[in-house]
Amino acid sequence: MSLSEGRGASQEGGGEGEIDLTPMLDVVFIMLIFFIVTSSFVKEPGIEIMKAEAVTTNPCERGTIIFAVDAVGDIYYDKKQIQVDRAYRLAEAAKKESPKANFVVQMDVDSPTAVLDKLLTAIKPLMDAPLCASTDERG
């Protein structure tokens, strides 16, 4: 018996030892679609800021609507610089997308507090939970 005859015999043997991966791929794609549909994406503010350090921190539950204020006092949302008067409309649209989300404010250590006051005044009617402040842990 030659080498080629041995291969032919095993290939004609009814496919013993082969595994059909089609059902597994179907399940993987269904799970992928499920996770994509049910996930919520965080819109990052898009700027680098130096956050204040905190000794004690508590995690912000459901905090996904993030505004950032840089050292100059410019407000950012979703990688774009915005004016204070647009903050309410953007926050309202974000609340419609994810109603259970909290607001998070990232402030630079040198940012003016007057800008934070204006931002909070603008989004306060939409807040249903305490505001979360983003800080760095003291290391």
pLDDT at site 19 = 87
Take residue 76 and report the two structure tokens written for it.
């950012």
Q: Report the chain's C-alpha Rg in angstroms.
A: 27
Predicted structure pTM score = 0.61
Query: What's the mean pLDDT when you consider all of the chain?
Result: 79
Residue 10 has pLDDT above 60, yes or no: no
Query: Rounded to an integer, what distance in angstroms lies between the CA atom of residue 119 and that of residue 75?
Result: 8
Is the distance from CB of 107 to CB of 51 less than 8 angstroms?
yes
Take residue 95 and report the two structure tokens written for it.
């609340």
Read off the pLDDT of residues 79-94 as tens digits, 9 standing for 90 and up: 889 998 898 999 999 8
What is the number of alpha carbons within 13 Å of residue 28 lying toward its C-beta?
Answer: 5
Phi-psi bin for 92: left (phi > 0), alpha (psi -120 to 50), beta?
alpha
